[in-house]
Amino acid sequence: MSIGVLKETHLKLPGQSAFYKGKVRDVYTVGEQLIMVASDRISAFDHILPRAIPYKGQVLNQIAIHFLKATLDICPNWLEASPDPNVTIGTACDPFRVEMVIRGYLVGHAWREYKAGKRILCGVEMPEGMVENQAFPSPIITPATKAEQGHDEDISREEIIRQGIISEADYVQLEQYTHALFQRGTVMAADQGLILVDTKYEFGKKDGKIYLIDEIHTPDSSRYFHKEGFEECLASGKKPKHLSKEFVREWLIEQGFQGLDGQKMPSMPDDFVTLVSERYIELYEKISGIPFVKEPIENIEARIEKNLMAYFSIY
Protein backbone atom coordinates (compact mmCIF):
# COMPACT_ATOMS: atom_id res chain seq x y z
CA MET A 1 0.00 0.00 0.00
CA SER A 2 1.29 3.46 -0.91
CA ILE A 3 1.39 6.14 1.78
CA GLY A 4 -1.65 8.37 1.48
CA VAL A 5 -3.72 6.09 -0.76
CA LEU A 6 -5.50 2.77 -0.33
CA LYS A 7 -4.64 0.62 -3.35
CA GLU A 8 -5.72 -2.71 -1.85
CA THR A 9 -6.57 -4.38 1.44
CA HIS A 10 -5.60 -7.65 3.10
CA LEU A 11 -8.01 -7.82 6.02
CA LYS A 12 -8.59 -10.92 8.11
CA LEU A 13 -12.07 -10.57 9.56
CA PRO A 14 -13.72 -12.85 12.14
CA GLY A 15 -15.97 -15.34 10.36
CA GLN A 16 -14.73 -14.29 6.92
CA SER A 17 -15.74 -16.82 4.29
CA ALA A 18 -14.94 -15.15 0.97
CA PHE A 19 -13.04 -12.29 -0.65
CA TYR A 20 -13.52 -10.63 -4.01
CA LYS A 21 -11.41 -7.85 -5.52
CA GLY A 22 -13.40 -5.66 -7.88
CA LYS A 23 -12.16 -2.86 -10.07
CA VAL A 24 -12.47 -0.36 -7.24
CA ARG A 25 -13.78 -2.21 -4.18
CA ASP A 26 -12.50 -5.05 -2.03
CA VAL A 27 -15.44 -7.17 -0.89
CA TYR A 28 -15.38 -9.48 2.12
CA THR A 29 -18.15 -11.91 3.06
CA VAL A 30 -18.91 -12.54 6.73
CA GLY A 31 -21.99 -14.64 7.33
CA GLU A 32 -24.84 -13.07 5.36
CA GLN A 33 -23.15 -9.68 5.27
CA LEU A 34 -20.88 -8.06 2.70
CA ILE A 35 -18.13 -5.75 3.88
CA MET A 36 -17.34 -3.47 0.96
CA VAL A 37 -14.13 -1.43 1.19
CA ALA A 38 -13.88 1.47 -1.26
CA SER A 39 -10.24 1.70 -2.31
CA ASP A 40 -8.56 4.65 -4.00
CA ARG A 41 -8.13 2.67 -7.22
CA ILE A 42 -9.55 4.28 -10.34
CA SER A 43 -10.70 2.50 -13.47
CA ALA A 44 -11.53 3.65 -16.98
CA PHE A 45 -12.43 1.70 -20.11
CA ASP A 46 -12.71 -1.35 -17.78
CA HIS A 47 -9.02 -1.14 -16.83
CA ILE A 48 -7.55 -0.23 -13.45
CA LEU A 49 -5.14 2.69 -13.80
CA PRO A 50 -1.65 2.42 -12.26
CA ARG A 51 -2.03 5.43 -9.94
CA ALA A 52 -4.51 5.59 -7.08
CA ILE A 53 -6.33 8.83 -6.18
CA PRO A 54 -6.09 10.25 -2.64
CA TYR A 55 -9.45 10.35 -0.80
CA LYS A 56 -11.31 8.83 -3.75
CA GLY A 57 -12.51 5.80 -1.78
CA GLN A 58 -13.81 7.94 1.05
CA VAL A 59 -15.63 10.20 -1.42
CA LEU A 60 -17.26 7.29 -3.25
CA ASN A 61 -18.34 5.53 -0.09
CA GLN A 62 -19.82 8.59 1.57
CA ILE A 63 -21.67 9.75 -1.56
CA ALA A 64 -23.14 6.27 -2.04
CA ILE A 65 -24.33 6.16 1.58
CA HIS A 66 -25.82 9.66 1.19
CA PHE A 67 -27.95 8.50 -1.75
CA LEU A 68 -28.78 5.05 -0.40
CA LYS A 69 -30.32 6.70 2.63
CA ALA A 70 -32.10 9.29 0.47
CA THR A 71 -33.73 6.68 -1.79
CA LEU A 72 -34.79 4.04 0.71
CA ASP A 73 -38.44 5.04 0.23
CA ILE A 74 -38.16 4.12 -3.49
CA CYS A 75 -36.75 0.61 -3.17
CA PRO A 76 -35.05 -1.56 -0.55
CA ASN A 77 -31.26 -1.39 -0.53
CA TRP A 78 -28.44 -3.39 0.95
CA LEU A 79 -27.03 -0.76 3.38
CA GLU A 80 -26.78 -1.77 7.06
CA ALA A 81 -23.85 0.19 8.50
CA SER A 82 -20.72 2.24 7.76
CA PRO A 83 -18.21 1.84 10.60
CA ASP A 84 -15.44 3.57 8.60
CA PRO A 85 -15.52 6.35 5.96
CA ASN A 86 -14.25 3.86 3.35
CA VAL A 87 -16.50 0.96 4.36
CA THR A 88 -20.10 -0.09 3.82
CA ILE A 89 -21.58 -3.18 5.45
CA GLY A 90 -24.75 -4.58 3.98
CA THR A 91 -26.98 -7.49 3.08
CA ALA A 92 -25.41 -10.06 0.76
CA CYS A 93 -27.69 -10.57 -2.26
CA ASP A 94 -27.55 -12.71 -5.38
CA PRO A 95 -26.67 -10.01 -7.96
CA PHE A 96 -28.36 -9.69 -11.32
CA ARG A 97 -25.64 -9.94 -13.98
CA VAL A 98 -26.86 -6.79 -15.71
CA GLU A 99 -26.16 -3.13 -14.98
CA MET A 100 -29.16 -0.85 -15.47
CA VAL A 101 -27.64 2.11 -17.30
CA ILE A 102 -29.94 5.12 -17.69
CA ARG A 103 -29.11 8.13 -19.84
CA GLY A 104 -30.72 11.54 -19.75
CA TYR A 105 -28.30 13.13 -22.23
CA LEU A 106 -26.36 12.11 -25.34
CA VAL A 107 -22.83 11.85 -23.96
CA GLY A 108 -19.98 9.39 -23.50
CA HIS A 109 -20.50 5.93 -24.95
CA ALA A 110 -23.91 6.84 -26.36
CA TRP A 111 -22.43 9.86 -28.18
CA ARG A 112 -19.52 7.83 -29.54
CA GLU A 113 -21.99 5.30 -30.96
CA TYR A 114 -24.24 8.07 -32.31
CA LYS A 115 -21.33 9.88 -33.93
CA ALA A 116 -20.38 6.60 -35.63
CA GLY A 117 -23.80 6.58 -37.30
CA LYS A 118 -25.72 4.24 -34.99
CA ARG A 119 -29.25 5.18 -34.02
CA ILE A 120 -30.15 2.07 -32.04
CA LEU A 121 -28.47 1.50 -28.67
CA CYS A 122 -29.43 -1.60 -26.68
CA GLY A 123 -32.60 -1.87 -28.74
CA VAL A 124 -33.56 1.74 -27.96
CA GLU A 125 -33.97 4.20 -30.81
CA MET A 126 -32.14 7.52 -30.54
CA PRO A 127 -33.71 10.44 -32.47
CA GLU A 128 -32.09 11.87 -35.58
CA GLY A 129 -30.54 15.33 -35.53
CA MET A 130 -29.19 15.29 -31.99
CA VAL A 131 -25.92 16.94 -30.93
CA GLU A 132 -23.47 15.96 -28.24
CA ASN A 133 -24.68 16.71 -24.67
CA GLN A 134 -28.29 17.26 -25.77
CA ALA A 135 -31.05 15.90 -23.55
CA PHE A 136 -33.03 12.93 -24.80
CA PRO A 137 -36.79 13.56 -25.05
CA SER A 138 -37.02 11.28 -22.01
CA PRO A 139 -34.35 9.20 -20.23
CA ILE A 140 -33.46 5.91 -21.94
CA ILE A 141 -32.35 2.65 -20.31
CA THR A 142 -29.42 0.97 -22.08
CA PRO A 143 -28.46 -2.14 -20.07
CA ALA A 144 -25.04 -3.77 -20.05
CA THR A 145 -24.02 -7.28 -19.10
CA LYS A 146 -21.74 -7.19 -16.08
CA ALA A 147 -18.43 -8.79 -16.99
CA GLU A 148 -16.12 -10.43 -14.44
CA GLN A 149 -13.17 -9.46 -16.64
CA GLY A 150 -12.83 -7.04 -19.56
CA HIS A 151 -15.52 -4.87 -21.07
CA ASP A 152 -19.18 -4.85 -20.11
CA GLU A 153 -21.32 -5.45 -23.20
CA ASP A 154 -24.40 -3.58 -24.38
CA ILE A 155 -27.52 -5.74 -24.42
CA SER A 156 -31.18 -5.09 -25.17
CA ARG A 157 -34.17 -5.60 -22.89
CA GLU A 158 -35.44 -8.25 -25.30
CA GLU A 159 -32.17 -10.23 -25.22
CA ILE A 160 -31.99 -10.12 -21.42
CA ILE A 161 -35.44 -11.68 -21.18
CA ARG A 162 -34.97 -14.06 -24.15
CA GLN A 163 -31.72 -15.44 -22.72
CA GLY A 164 -33.29 -15.85 -19.30
CA ILE A 165 -30.69 -13.58 -17.66
CA ILE A 166 -33.52 -11.87 -15.78
CA SER A 167 -37.19 -12.85 -15.77
CA GLU A 168 -39.60 -10.47 -17.46
CA ALA A 169 -41.38 -9.73 -14.18
CA ASP A 170 -38.12 -8.89 -12.42
CA TYR A 171 -36.90 -6.82 -15.35
CA VAL A 172 -40.08 -4.73 -15.38
CA GLN A 173 -39.51 -4.04 -11.68
CA LEU A 174 -35.87 -3.09 -12.33
CA GLU A 175 -36.97 -0.63 -15.02
CA GLN A 176 -39.46 0.98 -12.64
CA TYR A 177 -36.86 1.28 -9.89
CA THR A 178 -34.28 2.66 -12.35
CA HIS A 179 -36.55 5.43 -13.62
CA ALA A 180 -37.66 6.38 -10.09
CA LEU A 181 -34.10 6.43 -8.72
CA PHE A 182 -32.89 8.52 -11.65
CA GLN A 183 -35.74 10.97 -11.13
CA ARG A 184 -34.85 11.31 -7.43
CA GLY A 185 -31.18 11.76 -8.29
CA THR A 186 -32.08 14.37 -10.90
CA VAL A 187 -34.08 16.40 -8.39
CA MET A 188 -31.38 16.16 -5.71
CA ALA A 189 -28.72 17.22 -8.22
CA ALA A 190 -30.82 20.16 -9.42
CA ASP A 191 -31.20 21.35 -5.82
CA GLN A 192 -27.40 21.65 -5.74
CA GLY A 193 -27.05 23.34 -9.13
CA LEU A 194 -26.12 20.16 -10.99
CA ILE A 195 -27.54 18.04 -13.81
CA LEU A 196 -27.48 14.26 -13.38
CA VAL A 197 -26.51 13.29 -16.93
CA ASP A 198 -26.45 9.51 -16.75
CA THR A 199 -25.79 6.77 -14.25
CA LYS A 200 -26.02 3.04 -13.63
CA TYR A 201 -27.65 0.92 -10.95
CA GLU A 202 -27.02 -2.61 -9.82
CA PHE A 203 -29.60 -4.82 -8.19
CA GLY A 204 -29.67 -8.15 -6.42
CA LYS A 205 -32.20 -10.53 -4.94
CA LYS A 206 -32.51 -12.18 -1.54
CA ASP A 207 -35.40 -14.32 -0.33
CA GLY A 208 -37.43 -13.30 -3.39
CA LYS A 209 -36.98 -9.57 -2.74
CA ILE A 210 -35.13 -7.16 -5.04
CA TYR A 211 -32.54 -4.85 -3.46
CA LEU A 212 -30.53 -1.93 -4.81
CA ILE A 213 -26.88 -2.86 -4.23
CA ASP A 214 -23.41 -1.35 -4.63
CA GLU A 215 -22.83 2.40 -5.09
CA ILE A 216 -25.26 4.93 -6.55
CA HIS A 217 -24.87 8.44 -7.96
CA THR A 218 -21.11 8.57 -7.39
CA PRO A 219 -18.65 10.07 -9.91
CA ASP A 220 -17.56 6.51 -10.78
CA SER A 221 -21.08 5.49 -11.78
CA SER A 222 -22.53 8.82 -12.92
CA ARG A 223 -21.89 11.99 -14.88
CA TYR A 224 -22.89 15.42 -13.67
CA PHE A 225 -22.95 18.78 -15.48
CA HIS A 226 -23.04 22.17 -13.80
CA LYS A 227 -26.47 23.67 -14.50
CA GLU A 228 -25.07 27.19 -14.73
CA GLY A 229 -23.88 27.88 -18.27
CA PHE A 230 -25.04 24.52 -19.61
CA GLU A 231 -27.50 25.88 -22.19
CA GLU A 232 -24.95 28.40 -23.46
CA CYS A 233 -22.36 25.63 -23.89
CA LEU A 234 -24.87 23.43 -25.70
CA ALA A 235 -25.84 26.25 -28.08
CA SER A 236 -22.22 27.09 -28.89
CA GLY A 237 -21.00 23.49 -29.17
CA LYS A 238 -18.63 23.83 -26.22
CA LYS A 239 -18.16 21.11 -23.62
CA PRO A 240 -20.20 21.85 -20.49
CA LYS A 241 -18.38 22.00 -17.18
CA HIS A 242 -18.81 18.60 -15.63
CA LEU A 243 -18.07 16.69 -12.47
CA SER A 244 -17.47 13.05 -13.28
CA LYS A 245 -14.85 10.56 -14.29
CA GLU A 246 -15.36 11.48 -17.95
CA PHE A 247 -12.47 13.97 -17.91
CA VAL A 248 -10.18 11.06 -16.93
CA ARG A 249 -11.43 9.09 -19.93
CA GLU A 250 -10.90 12.13 -22.15
CA TRP A 251 -7.33 12.50 -20.87
CA LEU A 252 -6.64 8.83 -21.59
CA ILE A 253 -8.06 9.19 -25.12
CA GLU A 254 -5.75 12.17 -25.68
CA GLN A 255 -2.86 9.92 -24.63
CA GLY A 256 -3.97 7.29 -27.17
CA PHE A 257 -5.61 4.84 -24.77
CA GLN A 258 -9.18 3.51 -24.93
CA GLY A 259 -8.62 0.07 -23.44
CA LEU A 260 -8.16 -1.60 -26.81
CA ASP A 261 -5.75 -4.44 -27.52
CA GLY A 262 -2.19 -3.28 -28.11
CA GLN A 263 -2.68 0.12 -26.49
CA LYS A 264 -0.32 1.06 -23.66
CA MET A 265 -1.91 2.60 -20.61
CA PRO A 266 -0.30 5.94 -19.71
CA SER A 267 0.63 6.81 -16.13
CA MET A 268 -0.98 9.93 -14.73
CA PRO A 269 1.49 12.66 -13.65
CA ASP A 270 1.36 14.00 -10.09
CA ASP A 271 -0.43 17.22 -11.01
CA PHE A 272 -3.19 15.31 -12.80
CA VAL A 273 -3.62 12.90 -9.86
CA THR A 274 -4.04 15.94 -7.60
CA LEU A 275 -6.57 17.42 -10.02
CA VAL A 276 -8.59 14.17 -10.08
CA SER A 277 -8.62 14.06 -6.26
CA GLU A 278 -9.81 17.67 -6.11
CA ARG A 279 -12.58 16.94 -8.63
CA TYR A 280 -13.85 14.02 -6.53
CA ILE A 281 -13.88 16.13 -3.37
CA GLU A 282 -15.59 18.98 -5.24
CA LEU A 283 -18.35 16.65 -6.38
CA TYR A 284 -18.88 15.34 -2.84
CA GLU A 285 -19.30 18.85 -1.49
CA LYS A 286 -21.39 19.97 -4.44
CA ILE A 287 -23.81 17.06 -4.46
CA SER A 288 -24.21 16.77 -0.68
CA GLY A 289 -23.90 20.41 0.37
CA ILE A 290 -21.65 19.18 3.21
CA PRO A 291 -17.97 20.13 3.63
CA PHE A 292 -15.66 17.18 3.03
CA VAL A 293 -13.71 16.10 6.09
CA LYS A 294 -10.44 14.43 5.15
CA GLU A 295 -9.84 11.37 7.26
CA PRO A 296 -6.26 10.45 8.32
CA ILE A 297 -4.50 8.69 5.43
CA GLU A 298 -1.16 7.73 6.97
CA ASN A 299 -2.26 4.09 7.32
CA ILE A 300 -5.77 3.70 5.95
CA GLU A 301 -5.90 -0.09 6.14
CA ALA A 302 -4.98 -0.10 9.84
CA ARG A 303 -7.69 2.48 10.53
CA ILE A 304 -10.26 0.40 8.65
CA GLU A 305 -9.27 -2.79 10.46
CA LYS A 306 -9.53 -1.08 13.85
CA ASN A 307 -13.00 0.30 13.07
CA LEU A 308 -14.25 -3.02 11.69
CA MET A 309 -13.00 -4.98 14.70
CA ALA A 310 -14.80 -2.50 16.97
CA TYR A 311 -17.98 -2.99 14.91
CA PHE A 312 -17.82 -6.79 15.06
CA SER A 313 -17.10 -6.73 18.80
CA ILE A 314 -20.44 -4.96 19.27
CA TYR A 315 -22.48 -6.91 16.76
What pLDDT score was predicted for residue 131? 97
The partner residues of 44 in beta bridges, in order of sequence, read 47
pLDDT per residue over 10-56, tens digit each?
999 999 999 999 989 999 999 999 999 999 999 988 889 999 999 99
DSSP string over the chain: --TTS--------TTEEEEEE-SSEEEEEETTEEEEEE-S--EETTEE-SS--TTHHHHHHHHHHHHHHHTTTTS-B-EEEEEETTEEEEE--EE-SEEEEEEEES-HHHHHHHHTT--EETTEE--TT--TTPEEEEEEE--EE--SSS--EE--HHHHHHTTSS-HHHHHHHHHHHHHHHHHHHHHHHHTTEEEEEEEEEEEEETTEEEEES--SSTTTEEEEESTTHHHHHHHTPPPPEEESHHHHHHHHHTT-SS-TTPPPPPPPHHHHHHHHHHHHHHHHHHH-S---PPP-SSHHHHHHHHHHHHHHH-
Residue among 133, 101, 129 at smallest CA distance from 226:
133
**Amino acid symbol at 28:** Y
CATH architecture of 95-247: 2-Layer Sandwich (3.30)
pLDDT per residue over 60-118, tens digit each?
999 999 999 999 999 999 999 999 999 999 999 999 999 999 999 999 999 999 999 99
Within its chain, how far is the Cα of 283 from the centroid? 13
Rounded Cα distance between 23 and 49, Å, is 10
- Reported as a pLDDT band with limits 50, 70 and 90, residue 1 is very low
Whether 16-93+272-314 shares its CATH topology with 95-247 is answered no
What residue segments make up the domains of the chain, in order of their start? 16-93+272-314, 95-247
What pLDDT score was predicted for residue 147? 65
Query: pTM, whole model, 2 decimals?
Result: 0.89
Output phi, psi for 44, to 5 deg: -155, 145
- Count the Cβ atoms, other than its own, within 10 Å of residue 69: 11
Fold of 16-93+272-314: Phosphorylase Kinase; domain 1 (3.30.200)
The two most distant CA atoms of the chain are separated, in Å, by: 60
Q: What is the DSSP letter of 25?
A: E
